[in-house]
Structure 1
Amino acid sequence: MPRPPLYLVFNPAAGANVAQQLLHSHVEPLLKEKGVQVARRYETKGAGDDELIGQEIRRKVQASRGASAGIDVLLVGGDGTTHDVLQGLLASESHSARIRLILVPAGTANALYAAIYPPETSKRHRKDPHDKDSEHAWRLRSLRSYLRGEHDDDDEHTGAGANLYPLTIQRTMLFLPYAKGEIHTRTHIVTSHALHAAILHDSEALRSTHPGIERFKIASAQNAVRWVEGQLTLRERGEHGVQVFDSREKRFVPCVGKRVLSGPFWYMICPTVDRLEPSFVPAPFSSPSAKGQHDELARPPNALDLVLIRPLRDPIVQRHLRGDHARDAAPTAWDDETSRPAREAFAKARAAQLTAAMYAEGRHVYLRYPCGGDAADDEQLTEDGEGETVVEYYRCSGYEWCPAPASERAGLTCMDGTVVQAERTEVVVHGGRESAGRVSVWM
């Protein structure tokens, strides 16, 4: 069966501006060597271009090959480029084709690529002898997979037999403040609030002076003492309901508690991948199982993982609140001066250890608080602690986030790196199991 036509999109402004070099020095020579013709090459010129390009590719394929024809798109850019192109490719519900992406990462964090090709510290790491061929050889693994020719005998409608990494798509709906309307979008990496959204929001101002991932660390330090207040409602996943990770049993168990959670929240993130940088793993079970392997903790295609940290579970915070004011008298926004000692104490005692654990292949999900009592005993988080888990790790089909109006920055919502202020956010898994694999990446 002839392969689908290949469309190429590159973003010269992505990340550290290496896309053009990658395209001319590596991508085009490889395509020429293998005799692969590009049906159309697109260069993004500015904001909004990527989505329009995605729409045009979809229309061209639909007009020439039918609504169920497969689409192969080679992307030379960052996670934002992929996000925007996918908006255009998925804009029509009538187009039911399998969309297969070839990624050549040229962004800053390259979260999706890092999740597909994790470093040697990960148990999912796979060696590739070509990685040492040149400085940028590691960026070409997806392209080499596409070019190996394994897809020649593949069914372009089902993806059967291909070496593909399935993407889970989130449907995200944001209700904007001041009755400005709604935003409907799809995310393929992460939707987040609280600390993570604040980091992405503030890091943009640092892009020109700190083009690498260092700007995220700077923004994290700036926001470590911020908590956000609001109400989080978890959506059940069919017969599985809502599940929560039990760090002692090392498995997901039915959630017997309430489905509506109150803040304040320090961390709130809903990723479809385990890592957002090569070594930064906030959700260690969120990536699907590797091909040919079964991981009972891996997120199913019809599920979303939600990782939360609520500081009021911490004995240190409780001790400060007992000394300052009762919980019932606490401010609903958690951003005034009366709560600052508790917030600063939490950041000082916990932020560095939690961040380090996230960089240690996601060990933060096993950390527990001590039972409290002796102030000296409150300081250390351990995997065998007797108190509550530091991280609440839920598995569900989606959620609704209603930030408290008085809570500064509680409405910030990050969608694959784009940050918007919203009065309410709803997130659900797109399509569920029946559409699993509709969008995938050559790996």
Structure 2
Amino acid sequence: MLVALINPASGDSTAPAFFEKHVFPRLHFDHTIYHQHYHHIADTVVIGSGDGTIHDLINAKYPLPLKLVIVPSGTANALYASLFHPVQPQDRLRSVDAYLNKSVPIPLSIARTTITASQNPILSVVVVSTSLHASILHHSEALRKEHPGLERFKIAAEQNAPHWYNASVKLHGKVEIYDPSSNSFVSHPENTLQGPFVYFLSTVNVDRLEPAFRISPLARTIPPPISTCDIVIIRPLRHPSISADSTQSRADFVATTWKTLTGAYADGAHVHFTYRPDGSIDEKGEHQGPSVVEYIRCAGWEWIPDPDDHNAHLLCADGSIFHIPPHGTATTSILEDHPYSVYT
């Protein structure tokens, strides 16, 4: 059975009106506002929301495989923007068209995150992050009412840019790192990374978190093996001119952070950035210095935050914020099963 799941509060709150005008006339189904209603009846859900409601749906632990028809209605719409790039404002019905044309739905990879002392694993289909990205999502919620669009994320980014995050990371499975000089992934001998970190973000299914913000571009240009994730990492002590954590070092590194993340808006150019000996950035990667971004591909990871660094205990999963308890960790793995798929 086909049902509609609509979040009336997503994005600019226009999803119900859009469905009435453009979706319901094209399809014949029962529709529901609350995801509890679809249990035991649906095998296909037409979902009008952002990534957060898709995240809620995945975590409702539906007992049967579920096919999704996505009508993007949120703020960033990362999954839709990645699957249907380039996306124009009038292109919100491309997944609906794929369903009507009887296309074969593609499976979605699922990231499973467990947090110490929590009985419930967290499932994600877009992003699991800590550090700056998690802090941005955490603090942007207070800005949602006044700044409902993408602007609130930029404001939160400015507020959190000087922060460093003390933690270590254990990488799981076969670990590879992107080599800009050869434009390929090569074996990475280390499976433990020591902080501090400025940025730590892993993705599945997507190469962008907004239509223009292509943070993990290699997920498309060099497609990953199954059951792996792409991880984008910025560690400030890799900078040639910074050897220790200090208030001044944190302030000085903000410019590098902005320049690197701005590269994500330039079609993912940041993955090619390398440092020159003086600490300036070679945007074309022609200088054989350290990569500004460590772009890792592996089967999963464990984030071990410093007990004394409160900010390092934030974790973002598809926009939802979770707190790692003191002396706890967060472990993410990529499931081998694919119970969810989407019409593209």
How does the TM-score come out when normalised to structure 1? 0.73
Give 1:358's aligned residue.
264
Does 1:174 pair with 2:115?
yes
Specify the alignment match of 2:32 in structure 1. 42
Q: What SS does structure 2 have at the residue aligned with 1:427?
A: strand
The 2-side partners of 1:394 and 1:378 are apart by 22
Cα drift, residue 380 of structure 1: 3.3
Partner residue, 1:27: 23
Question: Does the 8 Å contact 1:317/1:343 carry over to 2?
Answer: no
Tell me the residue number matched to 1:224.
161
Counting only pairs closer than 5 Å after superposition, residues 274-423 of structure 1 correspond to structure 2 as 274-287=207-220, 297-318=222-243, 321=244, 339-348=246-255, 350-371=256-277, 377-382=278-283, 383-422=285-324, 423=328
- Which of 42, 46, 52 is residue 74 of structure 1 equivalent to? 46
Residues 316 and 346 in structure 1, CA contact (< 8 A), matched pair in contact too = no
Partner of 1:123: none
% of aligned pairs identical?
Answer: 36
1:210 aligns to 2:147 (yes or no): yes
Q: Are the counterparts in 1 of residues 143 and 152 from structure 2 also a CA contact under 8 Å?
A: yes
Structure 2 distance, partners of 1:389, 1:354, is 11
Partner of 1:109: 76
**Number of equivalenced pairs:** 339
RMSD: 1.7
Secondary structure of the 1:360 match is: coil
Residue of structure 1 equivalent to 2:341: 440
SS in 2 for 1:172: strand
Deviations 1:360-388 (A, max 9, x none): 111111100112xxxxx333333112321
Q: Secondary structure at the match of 2:41?
A: helix
Instruction: Quote the residue 2:14 is aligned against.
Output: 18
| Alpha-carbon offset, residue 91 of structure 1 | 4.7
Q: CA separation in 2, counterparts of 1:7 and 1:303? A: 31
Match of 1:235 among 155, 160, 172: 172
**How far apart, in 2, do the equivalents of 1:302 and 1:139 lie?**
29
Secondary structure of the corresponding residue to residue 356 of structure 1: helix
Query: Is 1:261 paired with 2:193?
Result: yes
Q: Which amino acid aligns with 1:380?
A: I
SS at structure 2 position matched to 1:118? coil
Higher share of residues assigned strand: 2
TM-score of the pair, normalised by structure 2: 0.94
Alignment check: 8 A CA contact 2:273 2:281 kept:
no
Structure showing greater Rg: 1
CA distance in 2 between counterparts of 1:91 and 1:271 reads 23
Is residue 181–residue 288 contact of structure 2 (8 Å, CA) maintained in 1?
no
1:60 alignment partner, one of 18, 38, 41: 41
Corresponding position of 2:128: 191
Alignment of structure 1 residues 115-154 onto 2, 5 Å: 115-119=82-86, 137-148=90-101, 150-151=102-103
For the pair 1:86 / 2:58, whether they are aligned, the reply is yes
The counterpart of 2:332, out of the listed 424, 427, 433, is 427
Deviates more, 1:165-174 or 1:101-110: 165-174
Distance in 2 (alpha carbons) for counterparts of 1:317 and 1:166: 43
Task: Specify whether residues 218 and 76 from structure 1 end up closer, same or farther in structure 2 by C-alpha distance, changes over 3 A only.
Answer: same
Residue 274 of structure 2 contacts residue 281 of structure 2 at CA under 8 Å; is this kept in 1? no
Code of the aligned partner of 1:303: T
Give SS of 2:242's match: helix
* One-letter amino acid of the structure 2 residue matched with residue 200 of structure 1: L
Q: Which runs of 4+ in 1 moved over 3 A?
A: none
Q: 1:406 Cα deviation (Å)? A: 0.7
Give the unaligned 5+ runs of structure 2: none
2:178 corresponds to 1:245:
yes
Question: Aligned to 1:299, what secondary structure does the other structure show?
Answer: coil
Counterpart code for 2:194 = S
In the alignment, the residues of structure 1 paired with residue 282 and residue 165 of structure 2 have an alpha-carbon distance, to the nearest angstrom, of: 23
**Corresponding letter in the other structure for 1:441:** V
Other structure's SS at 1:410 match: helix
Contact 2:127 2:316 in 1 (8 A): yes
Relative contact order (C-alpha < 8 Å, sep 6+): which is higher? 2
Q: Look up the SS of the partner of 2:225 in the other structure.
A: coil
Residues 297-306 or 198-207, more deviating: 297-306
Deviates more, 1:278-287 or 1:260-269: 278-287
More helix by share: 1
